[in-house]
Amino acid sequence: MKKKQCKLGVLALLLFAEYGFAQSKDSLSKETSIKEVVVVAFGKQKKEEITGSVQSLKAKDLSNLQNGNILQGIGGKVAGVQVISSGQPGSQPTIRMRGIGSINASSDPLIVLDGIPYSGNLNSIAASDIESISFLEDASSNALYGSRGANGVIIVNTKRGKSKGLSIEADVKTGVNFRSIEDYSVYTSPQDYYTAYYNRARIGEIARLKQPGAVPSGPSPHDVGLAALSKLGYNAYSVPFSQLISKDGSFNPEAKLLYQDNWKKLLFRPSLRREATVGINANSDQVKSYTSLNYLDDKGYLISSGFERFGIRSNVDYAITSKLKLTSALSYTYSKQDFGETGGFSNPFQFARNIAPFYPVFLRDNNYQRLYDSYGNALYDYGDGQGPNGATRSYAVFENPVGNLQKDKSQIVSNITNLNLGLNYEIIKGLDFTYNFGAYLENTRNLQFGNTEGGTSSSVGGTISQGSNFKYTLNHQQLLTYQKKLGNHSFNLLVGHELNKIKDDGFSGSKQQLLLPDSQSFDNAVKITDLSGSGYEYAVEGYFTRLLYNYDGKYFFNANIRRDGSSVFSPESRWGNFYGLGLAWNIAKEDFLKDNSVINSLKLKASYGQQGNDNILLSGSNRDYYAYQDIYGINNFGDDKPVLSLKKQGNKDLKWETSKNLNAGFEISLLKNRINLNADYFERKVSDMIYTLPLPPSNAGSYVKYGNIGDMTNRGVQANLSVDILRGEEFQWSFYANATHYKNKITRLPAEQRNTGLVTGLFILTEGGDRYTYFLKEFAGVNPENGDALWYRTAINPTTQKEERTVTNNYKEATDYNTGKSAIPKVYGGFGTDFTFKRFNLAVNFAYQFGGYGYDDIYRSLFHSDSYGSNYSTDLDKTWTPENPTAALPRVDLTATNQNGNSTLYLIKSDYISLQDVTFSYQLPEDFAKQAGLSGLKIYLTGNNLYLWSKRKGYDPRASLTGVSDSYRYSLLSSVSLGFKLNF
Amino acid sequence: MKIIKYFISAVTIGFIATSCANDLNTLPEGDISGEQLNNDSNSPEKILGGVYLDLRSNGAGGTTVHSDFGIMGIKAGADLMSNDVIQSTNQHLGMFYNYEATNASNIASEIVWTTFYARIFVINKLLDNLDKNANAKNRAIAGQLLALRAYSYFYLVRFYANDYNGHQSEAGLPLVLTANNPSQGLPRSTVAEVYVQIKKDIEESVSLLDTYARPSRAQIDQRAAKAIAAEVFLQTGDYLKAAQYAEESKQGVALMTEDDYTTTGFSNINNPEVIWGFHNTISTMSIGNYYASFFSMFDNTNEGYAGAAQIRKLIDKRLYEAIPATDYRKKVFNGSQSAAYTFNGKTKNYPPYVSWKFKDPTLFEGDYIYIRASSLYYIQAEALARQGRESEARQVLFEITSKRDKAYTLSVKSGSALINEIVLQKRIELWGEGYAWFDMKRLNTPLERVYTGTNHTFGRFNLTPDKFRFQIPNKEINNNPQIKQNE
């Protein structure tokens, strides 16, 4: 079956080669004017010819970005593109183009590197190697990528040799990384915490006594408060717990503070960032080459985290003969990434926020003197009873991130080789054949090391896990292009075939019981606890064709079709057809506008097309490559015999998610191209959305099954304005702004969910509603009598038999309402300005978002009723106490668990403005530079993620697409560096 | 000349294009797909093995929390809801102790529901495709599957519905008996209908397993099936059958010795009276997180949550005081004062009323015991007493109690006093093993934790047995339009 299709493809190619436009001898006239060229699917096009929505960032926009992964820094710079990142150096951000593409399939755009679809991490590419990044947002641009283009395509092109001769550019930066925004406000002094904790127990007792039928248990509320304090174990003061707080609630002034350790200072501190790159451009008539070396050492502000990278690249264009050209791009990158974010109680971000300030970091004896080991190293307190007077810590016992991060490791080392080869042969004038081959080879080694001295790993003598993974991607493209100009008509026809194959294979092992506490070699441990392997294979094949036509450079038309088959679906549902059509009219070239002095260019454009998405996600954002098959895991029964555990159900009927995209817009340049405005209206209709079927556990247990269950639409507008305010000899000033607004609507759900909606987490999906509408209990206020939290309840009154809305303090009975509030912002984008005076330049960029709602789960968790010495928000002074009965926030005590239950109380506007980056540079005078043997020397100071204005201190809406705060997230990192750019 | 050029280019293209020996059929590596298994005739047995394994693994209830580790976690949770077991601080499993677990939004409600329904799904999937009577192997597999299904529904109905007695026509559970159900979910059958199915399944299982010789104590054989049947029939009031099955099941099984009882008998599957359990090894404990396991939660001497983290498990003061001093079962509990205790070469200080019953000399690799012969003595004794065969009942009670307490003499009680004595002895013997709460529900015994001198902690309240019922988890309510929540 496959061979047949191959042969048909060949036949198609042959037909075109033989009977296509091969007869004419007319040649294309050369364009002499310099028109901006933009990278598009399988080639380049002049900007004026584009009928769709394509935006670019050039090398100069990117050269100041300091992120290990280049995509982290583009937030606010490109209309329609949202960037969600974490502070972990080198981490890949989440990119969304024009809204949400799906519920359960990935909404990630496809990344194409140097013409080949890229399945690796962009942290392996240095910013200095990038010539341009193009964002293809509509169907006419994307359809050629068929199955993977539904969420947009990001085309990254690396630098190639240009002009003639030899030129060298080097860039060296040194800087500091630090935590970008302060965390939520919590108690920092043990005195304040003890007082707060005492009050929690005290008012809890007062509230309990107010309940009908409550039995006084003997001790007064004050004594109950003191008794609770004594359970905390660690007393940082010189007087016993029973004397810490007096009956009037004031802290004992005689109490002396015996110790205090600052967890935050020990975990987060400014760190060093160093980067150096060299790019060599060596060109002759026949050979053009670009070679580069880059090095980055990006230490994170969380101790023991960071990203280190070393890379080499060689891009060569070799004109073998006048008809035969060879292009190559070869790169090797070595990178090492150390992670700080882990899950669970050992996560340093959650830990530092939640640990009460009286718990010590360091181990002390019964006299509160620090203890050290025989080498003089600090010993850490894990709260397991080895501390002063055998106290134990109730919060996160066995964990001490400061202690663990001294020795523990969570590290990935990657060796990535990327090889692209292209052969272009001009068969006859106008007819080109290109064969592109891309190979991406990635070997990663994963190391997890748990130390022998403290924490959960020490109870098993230390743990070592190592894994090795090899992944390769092979991509073959055969392209046949024919260009022909007949009078005013220009044609460009492309016919092609592409095969993309990914194979991933790896294994890992774990051992316990180490001999030497510092050696990370497997041999150092003796007890094997796990040995496992896994892998996957993915293949996608497509046939495509594209026609570009223009008349006189005024009227443009393009059409493209692609037929794709993906290994993810069953053979019956495997193949899909995708297409795109575009039209554009360059009005400014018409006679009535040709010589207009105000309007320099004006183009109207429209495009429409259909694309597919096969990128289905399992929970946890891993990709599901076998959606139509039942999947079982193999386990050891304990007697060394294999048994099978079902993991997931397959669905043979699962088919492509398709999205139909409409784009219409205009581009206008005024006043000698000083004012440029680009605006689009877009519509993305996604149908047959892949989602976990809403199966009840009684029918399916915990085994997920995917189906095509619904339809969704994104409708919006985006605009991009850039203005050159001043264009003098010495003085230049320009300004840009972009904004995107879209509405998301679910247009079809399965019949079973049509009336009730589909509840997923904090959101509800309803027909007519959007993907991220909050579904929560509605907070109704605080009962001034006892501080109970109140919520609304809608139920049938048993007497009147009518539905009524009442207020209840029973969380279980309260109703969950569709709040009508959505996490989707009304508008997002960025703006910035660039200011040059003589040799000085200042560039400032912002990103913003307005009109959406987030859910501040972290803030909510700081009003908990846990009794284990977990910190509180300082907004506790806004909560109910008997002394403050009219407070706006409910009572917080040590027993009532639902007082801070999920409700509308924790909804918060996710509006923000972020100062993305600021760069100040000075280009030294040429004579000065020449004295140093350079042709140019620039010195600059650059900083990124410098400031955030949001609705609450500590709340960072940029960390999540839905605005739900995540306590484990590595908070964003700011870098400020001083750098030199040298040209030879 | 041009034609030759065309020809060359065409051939080149053709050559390159046909080198696409592409196969868009891919297979997973590491995991196995259902398609690959179609060729393996032993796959039903291996999938059945997977069911046994999943029943004791972290994640059995579809979550990653440490309270989610299969039957042992659920039995432990049930015991924490009784009068007899106390937890010192509110962490893992604490939601059972303070009854928060009964809420539809609480993760424990989801864990219990999903642990059993996920197994029922796989069991039904296998049964749909299995010809029970084809050969001896299939009979054995079908017998085990039916026993597991009966066991699962038996637990589910006792959590999510009111007790059988007096509530038979009330809403029970969705009775899912095939894996080909419509995706909307089934409505709740009545409690009576559920028990009819449970009884049918377990009796069929007993008959299918008649010649099955199991490779280890991890599989359910006829003896284990009869033990389950005994408990089921005691619940439904079929006392004749309950006593008969209990007798047949415990026939020929030796009871454990004092040494077993006071040292490591409860973490060793080779304990002579184990009828069904699971042998844990380092590979089984590596599934999920090893802290999510029974001994981590219930062994106060171990390096887990109960031990090092001091989330202690204690015995109710009144129950402790009810154990005679001559009974060696008292030795595994601490008295009213803090005391030192040595195990595995380590001596530590322990608070009052702490339990030393469950001791695991390894780091969480201790074996699990699901059913042991002792439980059958009490089931048999009560069943006999309820039939009026009181002298036989007293004799059975004597057989076991005299082994545990040298000073015990044959009971002279009768009527409800005899029943109470049997139940008291049962509570002492099976403390922490997941029987107490179900008996309280069956016997309409209220929860009484408030009394003078009580040592109960954060769950110190009283409840009537009508509160001994879980709400159906939100995940089921939201996705099953036919199901009705408990009021």
Q: Name which of A2, A428, A636 is nearest B283 (Cβ-Cβ).
A: A636
Residue A651 is predicted with a pLDDT of 83
CB pairs under 8 A between A and B: 274
For the segment A27-53, the average pLDDT, to the nearest whole number, is 60
Per-residue pLDDT band for A11 (boundaries 50, 70, 90) equals very low
Per-residue pLDDT band for B183 (boundaries 50, 70, 90) equals confident
Strand partners of residue A543: A497, A563
Partners of residue B460 in chain A, C-beta under 8 Å = none
**pLDDT at residue B22 is higher than 60:** no
**pLDDT above 90 covers what percent of chain B?**
75
Residue A471 is predicted with a pLDDT of 94
- Give the gap in angstroms from C-alpha A136 to the nearest C-alpha of chain B: 27
CA distances from B143 to A410, A801, B139, B150, B309 (A): 47, 51, 6, 11, 42
Distance of CA A287 to the CA centre of its chain: 39
**Interchain pair B363, A6: CB under 8 A:** no
**Interchain pair B475, A6: CB under 8 A:** no
pLDDT tens sequence across B250-262: 999 999 999 999 9
For the segment B376-380, the average pLDDT, to the nearest whole number, is 96
Q: Name which of A646, A699, A756 is nearest B122 (Cβ-Cβ).
A: A646
Q: Name which of B30, B120, B483 is nearest A535 (Cβ-Cβ).
A: B30
**pLDDT above 70 covers what percent of chain A?**
95
**pLDDT at residue B229 is higher than 60:** yes
Q: Name which of A6, A480, A644 is nearest B32 (Cβ-Cβ).
A: A644
**Interchain pair B33, A630: CB under 8 A:** yes
Spell out the residues 6+ positions from residue A330 whose beta carbon is closer than 8 angstroms to its own.
A313, A314, A315, A417, A418, A419, A420
Partners of residue A752 in chain B, C-beta under 8 Å = 183-184, 481
For the segment A425-451, the average pLDDT, to the nearest whole number, is 92
Residue B187, chain A, CB below 8 Å: the answer is: no
Minimum CA–CA partner of B10 in chain A: A14
φ and ψ at residue B11, rounded to 5 degrees:
-65, -40
- Give the gap in angstroms from C-alpha B440 to the nearest C-alpha of chain A: 25
Partners of residue B121 in chain A, C-beta under 8 Å = 646, 699-701, 703
| Residue A910 and residue A825 in contact, taking contact as beta carbons nearer than 8 Å | yes
pLDDT tens sequence across A297-347: 999 999 989 999 999 999 999 999 888 999 999 999 999 999 876 666 678
What does DSSP say about strands A153-158 and A110-113: parallel, antiparallel, or unpaired? parallel
**How much of chain A is helix, strand and coil, in % rounded to 5?**
15, 50, 35
**pLDDT at residue A762 is higher than 50:** yes
Residue A468, chain B, CB below 8 Å: the answer is: no
Q: Which of A490-504, A652-666, A825-839, A874-888 has the lowest mean pLDDT?
A: A652-666
**pLDDT at residue A359 is higher than 90:** yes
- Give the gap in angstroms from C-alpha B257 to the nearest C-alpha of chain A: 27
For the segment A124-140, the average pLDDT, to the nearest whole number, is 85
Angle at B186 between CA B184 and CA B187, to 5 degrees: 120
**pLDDT at residue A155 is higher than 50:** yes
**Rg (alpha carbons) of chain B, rounded to whole number:** 26
Residue A565, chain B, CB below 8 Å: the answer is: yes
pLDDT tens sequence across B269-282: 999 999 999 999 98
Residue A614 is predicted with a pLDDT of 75
Strand partners of residue A332: A312, A417
Residue B21 is predicted with a pLDDT of 44
**Rg (alpha carbons) of chain A, rounded to whole number:** 31
Q: Residue A281 corresponds to which tokens in the numbers above?
A: 């451009």
Residue A920 is predicted with a pLDDT of 94
| Residue A498 and residue A110 in contact, taking contact as beta carbons nearer than 8 Å | no
For the segment A703-709, the average pLDDT, to the nearest whole number, is 83
Q: Which of A215, A634, A699 is the mutation pick for testing B, counting most B CBs within 10 A? A: A699
Spell out the residues 6+ positions from residue B276 whose beta carbon is closer than 8 angstroms to its own.
B217, B218, B220, B224, B227, B370, B371
Residue B62, chain A, CB below 8 Å: the answer is: yes
CA count, 13 A, side-chain hemisphere, A823: 23
- Record the pTM: 0.82
CA distances from A770 to A743, A821, B99 (A): 8, 10, 36
Residue B12 is predicted with a pLDDT of 53
**pLDDT averaged over chain A?**
86
Q: How many residues does chain A have?
A: 984
Per-residue pLDDT band for B9 (boundaries 50, 70, 90) equals low
Partners of residue B29 in chain A, C-beta under 8 Å = 505, 533-537
Spell out the residues 6+ positions from residue B297 whose beta carbon is closer than 8 angstroms to its own.
B73, B76, B92, B93, B304, B305, B306, B311, B313
Residue A592 is predicted with a pLDDT of 83
- Give the gap in angstroms from C-alpha B140 to the nearest C-alpha of chain A: 17
Partners of residue A13 in chain B, C-beta under 8 Å = 10, 13-14, 17
pLDDT tens sequence across B26-71: 777 767 777 777 777 888 999 999 999 999 999 999 888 899 999 9
pLDDT tens sequence across A918-946: 999 999 888 888 888 888 899 999 998 89
Residues A538 and A500: their CA atoms lie apart, in Å, by 8
Strand partners of residue A764: A759, A773
Q: Which of A575, A632, A691, A698 is the mutation pick for testing B, counting most B CBs within 10 A? A: A698
**pLDDT averaged over chain B?**
90
φ and ψ at residue B233, rounded to 5 degrees:
-70, -25
ipTM over the 0.90 cut-off: no
**pLDDT at residue B4 is higher than 80:** no
- B 74-113 near A (Cβ less than 8 A): 89-91, 100, 103-105, 110, 113
| Residue A422 and residue A395 in contact, taking contact as beta carbons nearer than 8 Å | no
**Interchain pair B28, A567: CB under 8 A:** no
**Interchain pair B309, A392: CB under 8 A:** yes
CA distances from A566 to A144, A470, B357 (A): 15, 22, 57
- B 269-308 near A (Cβ less than 8 A): 278-284, 286-287, 291, 303, 308
Q: How many residues does chain B have?
A: 487
Residue A105 is predicted with a pLDDT of 63
Residue A149 is predicted with a pLDDT of 76
Q: In sequence order, what DSSP letters do the residues of B18-59 get, joined into one string? A: HT---------BSSEEHHHHTT-TTHHHHHHHHHHHHTTSTT
Q: In sequence order, what DSSP letters do the residues of A393-439 get, joined into one string? A: -STTTT--HHHHHHH-EEEEEEEEEEEEEEEEEEEETTEEEEEEEEE
| Residue A98 and residue A682 in contact, taking contact as beta carbons nearer than 8 Å | yes
- Give the gap in angstroms from C-alpha A577 to the nearest C-alpha of chain B: 16
Q: Which of A396, A297, A405, A397 is nearest to A353 (CA)?
A: A396
Residue A26 is predicted with a pLDDT of 26
What does DSSP say about strands A525-551 and A489-514: parallel, antiparallel, or unpaired? antiparallel
pLDDT tens sequence across A550-559: 898 889 998 9
Residue A136 is predicted with a pLDDT of 85
Minimum CA–CA partner of B111 in chain A: A702
| Residue A717 and residue A740 in contact, taking contact as beta carbons nearer than 8 Å | yes
| Residue A607 and residue A580 in contact, taking contact as beta carbons nearer than 8 Å | yes
What DSSP designation does A878 have? G
Per-residue pLDDT band for A35 (boundaries 50, 70, 90) equals low
Per-residue pLDDT band for A33 (boundaries 50, 70, 90) equals very low
- B 386-445 near A (Cβ less than 8 A): none
- Give the gap in angstroms from C-alpha A448 to the nearest C-alpha of chain B: 15
Residue B460, chain A, CB below 8 Å: the answer is: no
Residue B136, chain A, CB below 8 Å: the answer is: no
Partners of residue A539 in chain B, C-beta under 8 Å = 22-24, 26
Sign, CA torsion A451/A453/A456/A457: positive
Partners of residue B308 in chain A, C-beta under 8 Å = 384-385, 397-398, 459
Q: Name which of A626, A756, A812 is nearest B33 (Cβ-Cβ).
A: A626
For the segment A52-60, the average pLDDT, to the nearest whole number, is 82
**Interchain pair A697, B476: CB under 8 A:** yes
Q: Name which of A505, A567, A759 is nearest B29 (Cβ-Cβ).
A: A505
Q: Which of A126, A117, A69 is nearest to A95 (CA)?
A: A69
- A 483-542 near B (Cβ less than 8 A): 497, 499, 501, 505, 510, 527-530, 532-541
Residues A320 and A845: their CA atoms lie apart, in Å, by 44
Minimum CA–CA partner of B477 in chain A: A696
Residue A417 is predicted with a pLDDT of 95
Minimum CA–CA partner of A15 in chain B: B10
Q: Name which of A17, A629, A645 is nearest B50 (Cβ-Cβ).
A: A645
Strand partners of residue A914: A847, A948
Q: What SS3 state is found at B157?
A: helix
**Interchain pair A644, B43: CB under 8 A:** yes
Q: Is A22 exposed, middle or buried (0-12, 13-18, 19+ CB in 10 A)?
A: middle
Winning range, highest mean pLDDT, from A4-18, A93-107, A745-759, B424-438:
B424-438
**Interchain pair A701, B120: CB under 8 A:** yes
**How much of chain B is helix, strand and coil, in % rounded to 5?**
45, 10, 45
Residue A21, chain B, CB below 8 Å: the answer is: no
Strand partners of residue A664: A606, A681
- Give the gap in angstroms from C-alpha A114 to the nearest C-alpha of chain B: 21
**Interchain pair A696, B310: CB under 8 A:** no
Spell out the residues 6+ positions from residue A1 whose beta carbon is closer than 8 angstroms to its own.
none
- Give the gap in angstroms from C-alpha A406 to the nearest C-alpha of chain B: 23
**Interchain pair A632, B33: CB under 8 A:** yes
| Residue B165 and residue B442 in contact, taking contact as beta carbons nearer than 8 Å | yes
For the segment A261-268, the average pLDDT, to the nearest whole number, is 93
Angle at A414 between CA A413 and CA A420, to 5 degrees: 170
For the segment B118-144, the average pLDDT, to the nearest whole number, is 92
CA distances from A37 to A55, A283, B189 (A): 11, 21, 69
Residue A25 is predicted with a pLDDT of 28
What does DSSP say about strands A853-855 and A803-808: parallel, antiparallel, or unpaired? unpaired
- A 834-853 near B (Cβ less than 8 A): none
